[in-house]
Amino acid sequence: MKSRVSALDLAAVVADLQRAVGMRLQNVYDINQKTYLLKFAKPEHKELVVVESGIRMHATEFEREKQVQPSGFAMKLRKHLRQRRLTGLRQLGRDRVVVLDFGGNVLPELNYHLVCEFYAAGNVILIDGNFTILSVLRVVKVNDEDEYRVGSTLQSVAQFTPTPPKEWTPETLGDLIDKHPKDQAKRLLSSHSEFPAAIIEHALLSVGLRGSTKLTRADTEKALAALRAAEDLATTTTSFRGYLISDSASQLHVDLQPVPLAQYQTPSYTVTEFDSFNAAADAYFSSLESQRAAQRQRAADDAARAKLAAIQREQLLRVDALEAAQRAAERRARLVEIHADLVGAAIAVVNSALAAGMDWVDLGELVKVETARGNPVAAAITKLDLGVNSIYLRLRDPDAREAGSADGDETESESDEDEDAEDRAASRAVRATRRAHRKALDPYVTVPIDLAQSAMANARALYASKKQSAAKQAKTLAVADRAMLSAQAKIQQDLAAAAKPASAPMLAKLRKPMWFEKFHWFITSENYLVLGGKDMHQNETLVKRYLRPGDVYVHADLHGAPSVIVKNLGAKSDNESGPGQGWPEIPPSTLAQAGTMALCQSRAWDSKIVTSAWWVWWHQVSKTAPTGEYVSTGSFIIRGRKNMLPPAQLVYGLGILFKVDDESVARHVGERGRGRRAAVEADAAGAGEKEGDEEAMEEQDGDVPADGDADRERGAEDALIAEADAQPEADEDEDEEEEEPASGAAPSSLVAQLQQLMLDDDDEEEDEYDEEEDDEDAAQDDGQDEDSQRDGDAAVGEQLADPADQVDDDASAQPPAATDEPEADQPAKKGGRISRAERRRMKKGGTSATDLDADANDNSRPATPPSPPPAPKGKAKGKGKQSDPKPAPPPVPQAAPNVRGKKGKLKKLKAKYADQDDEDRQLAQEVLKSHQGPQPKGKKEKKKAAKAAQQAEIQRLREEQRAKEAAEAAETGAVDQPPRGKPWAKPDPAEGAAEDEEDEEDAAQAVAEGAAATVAELMDSLTGQPHIDDGVVSAIAVCAPYAALQQYKYKVKLTPGSMKKGKASKLCVQLFLKAAAESAGPAKGPATDEVKRARAAADREASLVKAIPDAEWNTTMKAQVKVYAPQLAEVQRSGKKKGGK
């Protein structure tokens, strides 16, 4: 099994990773002390490269756990290499050394190289352009004088010269074979050449030799041909692929090669081909990591099971020891009773001797003498323990057999090995007790006797000892049972958790983000994709690249509100009449959800403001400003009528979308029910017809129209105006009549139904805007820069025209001048409505209604204040027509006031330096340094000045190099003049930045067009309700209006609150995991096939939820929220208990 890459493998890796050249190194992560992850990126593309010192280097698609705190070496790499462009990637000759070049500057001090060594123990070294070591992963001592340390020069790279391949001759190869006659062919040739054993074996097979063959002098020519074949394979191969070799029986990976090898073309091996060697290496080494993780898991399982078995064995031994002690005490007490006369005689003899003052040693000698004489009392005494006033008597058990002793000795000798094996796990006291238990079969038993008590008293003491052992055994059994059950439950729980497939794999494949995940996004309940910008630059990108014909633009007049677009997935009809120009209308519920997004992503969330958003068609959004005005980044001009949405509650939600595989997509096509739209339209149309019939009946009975109610709500300050408001608007334009049907008629479309839900009609709202226009303009002008820097408002143009004077959407595209002049046969505002704002202006400034109409005809004013300041409040505009806003005239420079005495001083200076020429003046300035201006003060200012001087020096060197190369090219005439004055030198990344940006812009535009075309297919593979038989690939967190998450399996409700992103995200993960556990059903009970599938699906969903990285949670989750979900209090209590422990 291959454990590290070879030189040929590195050549394949370097050739494949050339696609990363030109990318910038975004960050460096350390997986462990030897493994580092390099993250390269460019727009719309990302590349992750794993570098393990001495082992491997390849691109990866798997996500690995990173260290919480980066190491010092990783911090050093980040300091020097982060955000630098990778300008080169090369292998040093045929060595196992790869060099990554960063910089491409003229000054070598600004260039950096990362040297990765993959031989021996390996190393990773950071050097500058002068090959001076800046940081090293492992300090290596090359020889007595040279070592790899910070500050020294890396000579292996600075003075690298390719080593020519070794020349083999029949004589040298024959001598080598003679010196190693017992070595196998592949081992002999690989150890004395630069080729690995697998390549040598392949070359040997190509000439008819086996790798295990022992070479002789007769095989010299074939061995030489094999070496030449290996040389050709290493030098001539330029296109590499990946070949992963697995054992057919065990399905374990055994080798990885960039070229197909002959020894693996057998049924014993399975060869999997990859398009690139990096993909094969990623699969191979990642599987090795997973196998190691599985081995660690199995080792943990074995250790847990061994621990459980040891606890069980220890408990059994303790109980056995207590039972043996009881049996021994009972037997001794019985023997004392049987031999009471002998025990009493022994007690009397010893006590009489002690009473006579006999020495303890003499007493022992006396016992031995009497035993030799055959005294039965002395023969029974085995030991005198006079220090504790006791003796030991050897009493015979009459119930035991004579052969018992021999049998016991034989049994004891036969079981010595088993005893030793078991006793190693038991304590010393338990081993002694077990030995006493095994000796219980001996017919002679040694009994301790207390000299201060009689024989019967000693028997009673032994019976009392038995009772104590029984009580201790009962307590031990009670405690042991509880301890055993607790330990068994804990170990079984750990084993069950370890056995789950969710926790087994250590590596998770990286999910490729979808193109719209860089914006605020969600999918509505009717399967429409809604996108919103996160800042002013994203607002600009969203409208320029992704707003297509048929789409709808949604916005709210609030600080921080994003530009929101709804992608219209319907097909265009042939009838292009109406504001939608043939595109199908967006359902009201989708528009309402998009409006909720625009409000919740604005300052309304923090301020808890309930207001309304509005929407327009795509053709009403423009970036062209009127003459004399400008539109800032993220701001747009709205032309025509804005359609107001109902006020939306600030109720958001967080849900989980699951991406399913291609086989499972068919189950979820139409899941979000775009077909329900037809039923909704039919119901709404039926309700509108019924309401229209009722209103018609009321009008026939002489009731007041609906407009009269609105007029009474506004108040009737003037009787004539109230009467005019109550009259039907008979003299409105025909286009207005088509846009707003009479109250007695049924709504003509869903958009008309939605418009009828507005609390205030457009006329009153626009008039109120007119009233506050001057004050708001002044405030917005002061805060314009702050708004654009902080939240990137997508400020949108306001429509100031009165609905009675507006044209329809088709006519709104015409220039405003077409509606400037009022018609001759139509008196200004006679018989029409006059709002309260107009009435106040007329009373305050004496302005007529005609002037107000002229002001309203300009329907192209941006919502953000234009660059020219607004006119003062007291000034009225011209009557009868409205002219385009003109830029303010440039200020006329005023002459500086004369300063007394200045002219005379200048005259004296002129006379003083009349004889000084230009050269003398320059020398004087050099001495006085008066021409250099103020010098920088402080460390920061001096650092900035030094950096500016360095940049100027770089620019000067570049100019000199260009001029020199241009002169050489002009002399030789071998190279044509470069187009547009470009030098012949290698283009610098900084010089081509503008062209790169243009290319990136074109590429991004093409990507946007292709992504928008495939959005429908992509959304069908995303579901909030996974089926138990679905092949779920990944989980995606999405923040959306709660109305769009009603059908999601995993969801929580969010409202404005004080909880931060991180805490809210962790709480939501706990809620989702609890919901997954409940969906799996109870752990106990019959495990049918349906229950097993449900549990497997729940475990898979929970593992995918846990696999969502923290960065995605932080990007998706809203800040300052309050979470609502079922069983929220229980989850919070469980979290507090775990934290307390």
Asked if the model's pLDDT at residue 762 lies above 50, the reply is no
Task: Provide the token pair at 258.
Answer: 């960039």
Helix (H, G, I), strand (E, B) or coil at 387: helix
pLDDT value at position 1013?
Answer: 57
Task: Provide the token pair at 466.
Answer: 């038995």
Give the least confident one: 738-747, 935-944, 952-961: 738-747
Average pLDDT over residues 364-391: 87
Q: For the chain, give every domain's residue range.
A: 7-158, 170-236, 302-495, 515-649+670-871
pLDDT value at position 938?
Answer: 75
Q: How far is Cα 853 from Cα 822, in angstroms, rounded to an integer? A: 9
Higher-confidence residue: 653 or 106? 653
**Winning range, highest mean pLDDT, from 83-97, 308-322, 894-908, 964-978:** 83-97
**Winning range, highest mean pLDDT, from 20-34, 402-416, 983-997, 1080-1094:** 20-34
pLDDT value at position 53?
Answer: 93
Asked if the model's pLDDT at residue 975 lies above 50, the reply is no
Beta bridge partners of 578: none
Contacts made by residues 818-823, CB under 8 angstroms, sequence distance 24+: 819/857, 820/854, 820/857, 820/881, 820/882, 821/880, 821/881, 822/850, 822/853, 822/880
DSSP conformational letter for 138: S
Helix (H, G, I), strand (E, B) or coil at 696: helix
DSSP 12-68: HHHHHGGGGTT-EEEEEEESSSSEEEEEEEETTEEEEEEEETTTEEEE--EE----S
Residue type, 477: L
Average pLDDT over residues 177-181: 86
User: What HEC string does 651-681 produce?
Assistant: CEEEEEEEEECHHHHHHHCCCCCCCHHHHHH
Radius of gyration of the chain (CA): 47
Q: How many CA atoms lie within 13 A of 220 on its CB side?
A: 13
Q: Residues 859, 640: contact at Cβ < 8 Å?
A: yes
Q: Which tens digits make up the pLDDT trace of 790-841?
A: 344 434 443 333 333 333 333 333 333 333 333 333 333 434 455 656 666 6
pLDDT value at position 114?
Answer: 95
Burial of 212 (C-beta count, 10 Å sphere; 0-12/13-18/19+): exposed
Phi and psi for 118 in degrees, rounded to 5? Answer: -125, 25
pLDDT value at position 604?
Answer: 93
Instruction: Report how far apart, in Å, the C-alpha atoms of 708 and of each of 453, 743, 757 are.
Output: 120, 12, 17
Task: Provide the token pair at 111.
Answer: 């260039």
Residue type, 287: S
Higher-confidence residue: 404 or 73? 73
pLDDT value at position 1135?
Answer: 66
pLDDT value at position 79?
Answer: 93
Q: Which tens digits make up the pLDDT trace of 207-265?
A: 888 888 888 888 888 888 988 888 888 888 778 889 999 988 888 888 999 999 998 98
Task: Provide the token pair at 1018.
Answer: 């992509």
Q: How confident is the model at residue 717 (pLDDT cuts 50, 70, 90)?
A: very low
Q: Residues 436, 328: contact at Cβ < 8 Å?
A: yes
Q: Which tens digits make up the pLDDT trace of 595-606?
A: 999 999 999 999
Percent of the chain with pLDDT over 70: 68
Asked if the model's pLDDT at residue 87 lies above 90, the reply is yes
Q: Which tens digits make up the pLDDT trace of 564-584?
A: 999 988 888 888 778 888 888
Average pLDDT over residues 436-447: 67
Give the least confident one: 767-776, 1024-1033, 1096-1105: 767-776
Other beta carbons within 10 angstroms of residue 845's beta carbon come to 13
Give the least confident one: 2-16, 347-361, 573-587, 983-997: 983-997
Q: How confident is the model at residue 159 (pLDDT cuts 50, 70, 90)?
A: confident
Q: Which tens digits make up the pLDDT trace of 531-555?
A: 999 999 999 999 999 999 999 999 9
Q: Which tens digits make up the pLDDT trace of 664-686?
A: 888 888 788 654 444 444 444 44
Q: Which tens digits make up the pLDDT trace of 923-933?
A: 777 766 665 66
DSSP 454-490: -HHHHHHHHHHHHHHHHHHHHHHHHHHHHHHHHHHHH
Instruction: Report how far apart, in Å, the C-alpha atoms of 736 and of each of 515, 807, 1121 are.
Output: 41, 7, 43
Domain made up of 7-158: CATH architecture: Roll (2.30)
Q: How confident is the model at residue 529 (pLDDT cuts 50, 70, 90)?
A: very high
Other beta carbons within 10 angstroms of residue 577's beta carbon come to 9
pLDDT value at position 499?
Answer: 53
Residue type, 1065: S
pLDDT value at position 148?
Answer: 82
Asked if the model's pLDDT at residue 296 lies above 90, the reply is no
DSSP 178-234: HH-TTSBHHHHHHHTSSS-HHHHHHHHHHTT--TTPBP-GGGHHHHHHHHHHHHHHH
Asked if the model's pLDDT at residue 337 lies above 60, the reply is yes
pLDDT value at position 349?
Answer: 87
Residues 6+ away with beta carbon under 8 Å from 543: 553, 563, 565, 621, 623, 636, 794
Q: Supply the mean pLDDT for the chain.
A: 74
Numbers of helices and strands, H then E, in the chain: 37, 32
Higher-confidence residue: 995 or 184? 184
pLDDT value at position 962?
Answer: 79
Q: How confident is the model at residue 1084 (pLDDT cuts 50, 70, 90)?
A: low
Average pLDDT over residues 1124-1132: 87
